[in-house]
Structure 1
Amino acid sequence: MQLRIIHQTAGGDEDFCNRLNELLEVDGLKEVRFSVAYARWDGIGLIADRLEAFLKAGGRFSSIYGAGNGVTTADALYYGLVLAARFPKRTFAAFVEDKYSNAIYHPKFYQFLYKDKSVVLIGSANLTGGGLARNAELAVELAYNSNSALAKELDGFWSKAQAQAKIVTADEIRRLATSAGAGLEKRDEAGGAKAAKPAARVKAKSAPKPLFEKILNLPLAQKAKKVRLLETMDALTEPPRHLYLQIFKRETGGQKGKPGSAVQLPSATLAAYFGLGKGETRTVTFQFKDEEVKTRVIHNTNHTHQVRLNPIFSVERPAILHFERLGTDIYSAIFVPKKKYASILESKCTEQRSVRARRWGME
């Protein structure tokens, strides 16, 4: 058995995420198991590219995270659904929700199972941006024979963790996200107590793009999976701020053959942008230049929802409507200048369900 100490210091040169990425690239890796108290996308995102390359090559990834603890986020749990959709039958995503007010699920366990050996890292680092790149953390790395007594002990730990865990589903994520123990991606880890202190220097990419951007960047061949995933992500803690929506020359709802003002909102935007679960209804406010529109938005089980936006009568169509999130269920609504229509359609409205469907984009 070989032992190594990994010591990450705040602002230092050794980042825990770098070691995890190195182990993900070692030849002969068959399975990876993580069981941690806290998980956030700002941590998982630091190893996501290597993890996905490992899965693409035929590997298996299993994860069990503590949840409902005020730190683990819906975004981190959603990533388990993303991997399950992209790599069927090669992933296992579960969570442990604490039963007691004075006890918490608290392991930090990272195991790599290779063809002829195994490696485990056990220490203080959680699967968060702080744990993998910013905080002072300490871990022991053990390389051991896969048939050893230690291997059996660690397998026993994993079996017990699985036995108390629940499978991650969109419904469970939604429930956790509305509980008192919901975590946030944009969160002051010291609760404001260190607001006056400078930020630590971080060599690793400390702020991965939000999870929704990673999904939008999936290959064109996975377009259907992309839409289905976004349709479930109404509980993102770091949702898109901007929505660009193509307005057709002839929208529905007009009378006597004239163009109408009933605009169909793609279902992916109903969840990931407007934050609506399937079947959920909410009143939102769109603040146009000369008019404020309050309307009910419903996430139907079909592919779109229709909202009547009379201000589109004031512009030449086709056009692009740019929404920006101002607050809870409040959005500014600005028409892109006509001379920029073609360029914005190409650069911002990159999503389209089918050839004749409305183009849209989020960021």
Structure 2
Amino acid sequence: MRNRLREGFLGCVLLVALAGCASRPSEELVQKSQEFSEAVNAVRDAVMTAFDLAETANRLAQQTNLNLQFDLGGRPKVQYVPLFSPKDLSIRKGLFGSLSLYADRLEKSLGAQHLKVAPLDVLDLKEFQVSNSKQSLPGNLLDDPNLSSAVAEVQAIAKHYVSPNTRDQLQQLTFKIQPAIEKLVLFLYLDIGLLGDRKAICKNLTANLKPPVDIDSLPECRGGLRPIMQQALSETGTIWRQRLALSSPKEVRTAKERPALLDKIYSIDRKKDLIDGELTRLQEAVLMLAKLHLSLSREFEGQTSIDRPQPYLKLSQDLPQSINPAAVISALERKLIEHKASLISVLKERDDATE
């Protein structure tokens, strides 16, 4: 009887010890899960701000064109055609919604917080079966089965993070989901765009990509947000140059607005480079999401016997040390907001060179 009591006592101690080990993830693992969750939300905000900036650049180009037509005696139809439809934007928000749901549940599961089951239909996968968006992902990626399967996998795995009892499975889940996250990251990277050969449109871009995909070896094609932004700003500069060219010699010599217009032409050319630099850094931030999650999953190395699945992206192992990823990305978003404010100030000015 005494032996049975002793065995029972030892069994309870062992169970408590095992439960304690399973319920106490390392501080570094908890911190990395927080960094990943915060970075996902920060990148989402920055990307949507970039799309808003592109819409502002598009409006500036259209308004500059209308002003010139009116000043030349024309009576053009005043109608602003948006770059992106509500569906275009909702699809992109949905992609981030799936990532954010997973990241939030992972963080809360590790942090022993009570999990409220959020709706899992963050993104309607039927949206990917039709691609009638005017500005879709380059290469018509909305129809790419890799995209819908990656989103479905992220959402399916997020279902596991509804109870602290799943912590024992965390290492398996984080290993399993890494390729799907890398797929989503690639699509978001391509959505920001490529400035390759103007004659080579990014069509069926992912058809011939073999994992692991090397970002530095993507085809030299053109598509996505970056060329859209450049085109809108270039059109504005072209119209301002046309305004100067249409001025009479006397007007060019005496116009009070000429110095300001010349300064605008210089500024818009300069802004093209500055904004594209910010968008390139935004692409690096998108790639950082995959790196952060990979770093997080490595905290489980040696705790599971399962093999890592084949990576979808060829990721460099370097991650900046002693930085707050979300803070860096938020600073980038503020830069984009400043560019938008600058373009809006131009919209409020007269852009003609003569009076």
Determine if the TM-score, normalized by the shorter chain, exceeds 0.5: no
TM-score between the two structures when normalised by the length of structure 1: 0.21
Structure (1 or 2) with the greater helix fraction:
2
Which has the higher Rg, Structure 1 or Structure 2?
2
